[in-house]
Structure 1
Amino acid sequence: MAQIPVIAVFDVGKTNKKLFLFDENYKIVFERTARFMETHDEDGDPCENLDSLRLSVFDSLREIFKHKEFDLKAVNFSTYGASFVYVDEDGTPLTPLYNYLKPYPTELGRQFYDTYGDEAKFARETASPVLGNLNSGLQVYRLKYQQPEIFKKLKYALHLPQYMSYLLSGQMVSDLTSIGCHTALWDFGKNDYHQWLAAEAILPKMAPLKASDSVLSSVFPGTTFCVGAGLHDSSAALIPYLVSFHMPFVLISTGTWSISLNPFNQTPLTADELKNDCLNYLQYKGSPVKASRLFTGYEYEQQVKRIAAHFNQDVIRYRTINYDPVLAAKLSTQTALHSQKQDGELQKSAFEQRDLNDFSNDTEAYHQLMIDIVNQQTISTNYVLEGCKVQRIFVDGGFSKNSVFMHLLALAFPQLEVFAASMAQATAVGTALAIHQAWNSKTLPHDLIELKYYSGVKEKQEL
């Protein structure tokens, strides 16, 4: 029997570490999920177990080679962002893999911005809201001033996807999708590293840039598979859409965060946009992606629990609740009469302030929750629509399966075509697609994404 040509993709999230094998039609032919116990850094803060992660890559490869029905053509990696592995000349990590949620020292942050300009100006230049350790460039700055002896030994600061790629290729590289992700490293106006890296002698600690769609050779003797340079996961999840659709679109990727991504908007970020959690990514071809973020997935979970408890219901009920257009229209009218947009308070939940005794039943309360969430979402998504003609909005992730959310969103954007999009493992598929030409003998597929259309035209109601 002929072997099946496959690509292996390691998709590393904060919680789940997944391995997928895709065939040339991008169908999953093998998958495995693992979770690792966290370890702690020298301050006692929780962090990724780098040894477990490294060993899992080699263990997974050995397992793949045992499956004689597969012909491994390529390997690529996508991981969460804002995480550096500091390696010495031999590629050995010098520190733990610090968690981006670790608090950033106040004095050091003040020193940085006193030296390189006020926060608002610097944020505009780097398209990076002030986020502490989530600005991964400031992690290297911290290493220099808090651990100077380790900084002297540092050969390269590798973002996590590129460290994982190094394990199989033996080559240390940098990738734009990781560098261009709220890192405070990239000057979007100059399309180059920001000048502060050279001023701090950090620029030589950044590995040579490698194109996101290029590949490296495997370091293992007797193997022929190629190795991708690795991708930041948010950028990887956008790739199937860029491959499948050429008309301008916005993708609203929903989960814990709801992120509106517009790869067709290259307008500079304004102070107001940065204040309301807008930022830029760099997509895998190197051009900017304007993005805005809301913490709505988390907020939704908290408020649904509150509704369920108040009305003595099971939270599972709300997974399949149907959209009621008459109820939504009544509540929307009341909301419009009483709502006032507070400048700079986009991330605050309107529903959190509502008294559940004002609602006659849980269905009414739930519809009000979704109206409040979609009102926030509309403001957030409009930030990335501004100054750019877009014809379609795609929604993927959890809210794409929520009938109430999708109908309300379509009504909020009646001038646009709104679709719920579904595809299995968008991040992993995008990671494979990035190096399609290096391993796949077939043409790019056009049936990767299933779409369901939602009309923004108000239906006539019998009242």
Structure 2
Amino acid sequence: MPVPVIAIFDVGKTNKKLFLFDEDYRIVFERSARFTETVDEDGDSCENLESLRLSVFDSLSEVIRNKEFDIKAINFSTYGASLVYVDQRGRPLTPLYNYLKAYPEKLKYEFYRKYGDEQELALSSASPVLGSLNSGMQLYRLKCEQPEIFKKVRYALHLPQYMSSIITGKLYSDITSIGCHTSLWNFQKNTYQDWVSKEKLADKLAPIFPGDAVIPSVFPSDKFPSGVGLHDSSAALIPYLESFHEPFILISTGTWCISLNPFNNSPLTKFELSQDCLCYLSYKGKPVKASRLFAGYEHDKEVKRIAEYFGQSYTKYKSLKFDLKIMRKFLPEEALPIYFNRLGINYLNFEKEDLSRFSSDTEAYHYLIYTLIFKQFISTNLVLEKSKVKRIFVDGGFSGNVIYMNLLAMAFPGFEVYAASMAQATAMGAAVAIHNNWNDRPLPGDVIGLKLYVPFLKVVS
């Protein structure tokens, strides 16, 4: 008998993957692809939409031919802040502009002169001013700079919803994409920002479809119920929301370390906004306060510096053990949270360190992680306040770093700090979101593996 599965397309900036999950959410098939980027009319690099579209058809056709599996549903999770402008037939009218594309300062100036103070608009939309990373500003730019193309646009779809439309033929929006640093959504009024209507952009935004509902496919047949697609950060949170009901924070680590608190309902403040805080919307439309830290990028950059200086292999640090004897050289006599709270925000900064002060690369690496934990403490506390959270889950790259996890537990001694392991969190989240539409079994209790880290409450010399 073929295995009943859900097919999930998980599209990252680098890797594009197809996963098949069985009814117990075990990965039973995986296919990965990487595409050569193309360029837009300005010569800036961007995603190759045609390669992406064809890969969906090819991958689905391959799985359908494989008699080992019986596809029961399909869904998508992709990176955000990217819009696909489609015509009446759902065909793209422009390249998929890169969200890192420089935003014209003159256009930005004119926008805020017309619609008010940057900070006030950022507060109401719960997203910092980020240029092209605010996808609503991309749509505004298209209207201003390419009016003839803008007239032809039926809808501006975020990438997850465009991916879904490839196989459903239906054009919808999704709240997780709209509510992710787009500058489109007013979190106080729970509707689109006023400027969206004034610029007549609301007509270019497709109707919102529930993230936990499905649409019949048209490719390769009409028998596959399909989700509308989800923004990746919001998708990664779903298995945790479904598995744990006591308040928690999820620190999702990678290039960015994002602290997500679904249990903090307080409005975003000006200070939080200035410290790179924002709000996401969950797939059920609830605000999730989040803070961002560029810690993964800093880690990788500084590890290369350490490895080169001490003549070591870069890979050595992936399995380095926590050495309390080394850490005692840097730890204060008082508890870490008390010490960290006394320091200035930018007090510990490893990139300013002269590596000659360290006796070994291992010592230098321990201090690097120590400085990152200081920054993580500051960042996570921004979304921790005014909530009853007592658990911190860490997933992604740093969850497997025992130095990071031990120091994080010391920085948050009043909390249960867990390293969480889950196979492909964003893909699994997209599968769990439409669980009731394809799977009669209850959600397994072991989809997330947890390892508790107990802090060293007292450091003795």
Q: TM-score range by the shorter chain?
A: over 0.9
Aligned to 1:428: 427
Aligned to 1:244: 243
Distance 1:202 1:384, change over 3 A: same
How many Å separate the matches in 2 of 1:303 and 1:61?
A: 41
Aligned to 1:151: 150
Cα deviation digits, residues 374-408 of structure 1 (max 9, x gap): 00000000001011110100001111111111010
Q: CA deviation at 1:326?
A: 3.1
Native 8 Å contact 2:10 2:427 kept in 1: yes
Aligned to 1:207: 206
Native 8 Å contact 2:11 2:77 kept in 1: yes
SS of residue matched to 1:330: coil
Q: CA deviation at 1:327?
A: 2.5
> What amino acid is the match of 1:139?
Q
Q: CA deviation at 1:116?
A: 1.3
Q: CA deviation at 1:96?
A: 0.4
Q: CA deviation at 1:220?
A: 3.7
Task: Give the percent of matched residue pairs that are identical in Structure 1 and Structure 2.
Answer: 61
- Taking the TM superposition and a 5 Å limit, the aligned residue runs for 1:255-266 are 255-266=254-265
> What amino acid is the match of 2:91?
T
Cα deviation digits, residues 255-308 of structure 1 (max 9, x gap): 111100001111111111111111000011110111000111010011111112
How many Å separate the matches in 2 of 1:34 and 1:221?
A: 21
Distance 1:222 1:412, change over 3 A: closer
How many Å separate the matches in 2 of 1:67 and 1:234?
A: 31
- Taking the TM superposition and a 5 Å limit, the aligned residue runs for 1:27-426 are 27-220=26-219, 222-333=221-332, 341-342=343-344, 350-426=349-425
Cα deviation digits, residues 401-459 of structure 1 (max 9, x gap): 11111010000000000000001101111100000000111111111011110012425
> What amino acid is the match of 1:402?
N
Q: How many residues align?
A: 458
Q: CA deviation at 1:324?
A: 1.7
How many Å separate the matches in 1 of 2:62 and 2:339?
A: 61
Native 8 Å contact 2:2 2:67 kept in 1: yes
Greater Cα shift, 236-245 or 305-314: 305-314
Q: Which runs of 5+ in 1 are unaligned?
A: none
How many Å separate the matches in 2 of 1:260 and 1:128?
A: 15
Cα deviation digits, residues 129-152 of structure 1 (max 9, x gap): 010000000000000000000111
How many Å separate the matches in 2 of 1:200 and 1:329?
A: 59
> What amino acid is the match of 1:87?
V
Aligned to 1:14: 13
> What amino acid is the match of 1:258?
C
How many Å separate the matches in 2 of 1:327 and 1:270?
A: 39
Instruction: Give the TM-score of the pair, scaled to structure 1.
Output: 0.96
RMSD: 1.7
Native 8 Å contact 1:123 1:129 kept in 2: yes
Native 8 Å contact 1:415 1:456 kept in 2: no
Native 8 Å contact 1:394 1:420 kept in 2: yes
How many Å separate the matches in 2 of 1:147 and 1:310?
A: 50
Cα deviation digits, residues 314-358 of structure 1 (max 9, x gap): 222211111122321330229999998555x59xx7011111111
Native 8 Å contact 1:78 1:230 kept in 2: yes
Aligned to 2:451: 452
SS of residue matched to 1:250: strand
SS of residue matched to 2:32: strand
Q: Which runs of 5+ in 2 are unaligned?
A: none
Instruction: Give the TM-score of the pair, scaled to structure 2.
Output: 0.96
How many Å separate the matches in 2 of 1:460 and 1:108?
A: 55
